[in-house]
Structure 1
Amino acid sequence: MATPESDMDLEQGLFSHLLELRTRLIKAILAIAVVLAALVPFANHLYALLAEPLVARLPQGAHLIATEVASPFITPLKLAFYTALFIAMPVVLYQLWSFVSPGLYKHEKRLARPLLIAALVLFYMGCAFAYFLVLPAAFRFLTAVTPQGVEMMTDITHYLDFVMLMFFAFGLCFEVPVAVVILAAVGIVDLDKLRKGRRYALVGAFAIAAVVTPPDITSMIMLAIPMCLLYEVGVLAVRWLIKPTAAEASS
């Protein structure tokens, strides 16, 4: 039966956790705000860099357009916010880790720390892969198949939304090794199942790539092949990280 003292301790513990969460959230928001304030003067330049993969492949005389009155002002600011969130993400994740890590066991910390770092690095790699390789190939295809008599003039807001969606999709698809390790860590799969499931992973990678990428075979292959390779990286990570943990648990 709960006593008044235990109820009071529970309330105090919950209150202290809420205060800690508020402090971590404030620090994360401040980090994003500081980076955003530094990026706002360069918002138009950031948008020019983002538009480079498309602008460089537009036909002679074609250019991006703004179909809404405020979009020449609002759209670069949206990009500045996305960029600030992208840059400040290590600080945000550090605040998240600082909040949850005291409640983790030692073996959980040993696994969660490298997974968190790997997830961040892989997401950045996915975004860079999309910007430098996939988007140029996709825009080259899209400009080549534009019907004769149709002038390709993309709205700046629609372009930003499309590129951000591609970044998010490729960033998530590059998280395959982290997802594989997590599934193995919670016992859903083991190393033997992962090895036997390579053919299914291959089919799944091409199916996901067909849905995520623009409608050209080059972009699909450029996503599917890295996903297959990252699956193998995940299998190796399970072999290195999960087996010692299982051995420690059994002993």
Structure 2
Amino acid sequence: MSSVKANAENIGGKDSAQITLGFSSIAGDLPAGEDGPALVGEADMIPTFATILIVDDHPIAHAGLKLLFSAHARYDVVGALRNGGDVASYLAENPVDIVILDLNLPDVRGVSVLAEIVGARDMTVVILTGENNIAEIDYALKLGARAVVSKSDPSSEILAACDAALAGEIYISPKIAEGLGSKTQSPVSLSSRQMAILHYLEQGHRNKEIGYRLSIAPPTVSFHIAELRKKLGVDNNLKIVDRAQELGLI
């Protein structure tokens, strides 16, 4: 797993504001009038402007994130959804640069949303969640999440995570990293699309439905399944999921 980026202490400006997300209050530094400095690498590594979609079933989280990002000119929250089932259709009509995703959603598992939008669009996804299930968080990283932040983390972590994700890095807040410390790395490395296909195989989906969800042709699904058999060292499709579970991939 990629190393954890250093925690950013001061994010622009001097005025302090309290922002409430979900069931937790997180303190953030909101700048007075101008954007704070880039957090990761050189300035040209991070796009000068990025659009954001929030996916969280708590309206107070929507309001808090909108307030946080409104103080930083390089970010613009262009949409907010409560249900995971609406995400793929929204993105098909309204492409964005970052999706901030909660793993706890009322209609579907957050990781299923993640599998679909990363597997189909290579979407940059930042997990912001109150989820305490470390196995689910670890699975989200395997599926291709670029960053994970807890709702109880300070708001500086959210900004640091978004900056890192846009720079092509993996960001895990120190609090989340502490919980993940006990997880062992799988000996097999899969691409985000292969992980997405594996996710849907574990859910019992057939090739045609997997292709529909990931916007790829059934022969392409078959090709990736063949690659999964090779990487997992199994001789038929029925053994793929069992072997993946043995290796800690799902």
What TM-score range do you get, normalising by the shorter chain? under 0.3
- Between 1 and 2, higher relative CO (CA 8 Å, sep ≥ 6) is seen in 1
Q: Which has the higher helix share?
A: 1
Larger Rg: 1
Q: Which has the higher strand share?
A: 2
Using structure 2 for the length normalisation, give the TM-score.
Answer: 0.26
Using structure 1 for the length normalisation, give the TM-score.
Answer: 0.26
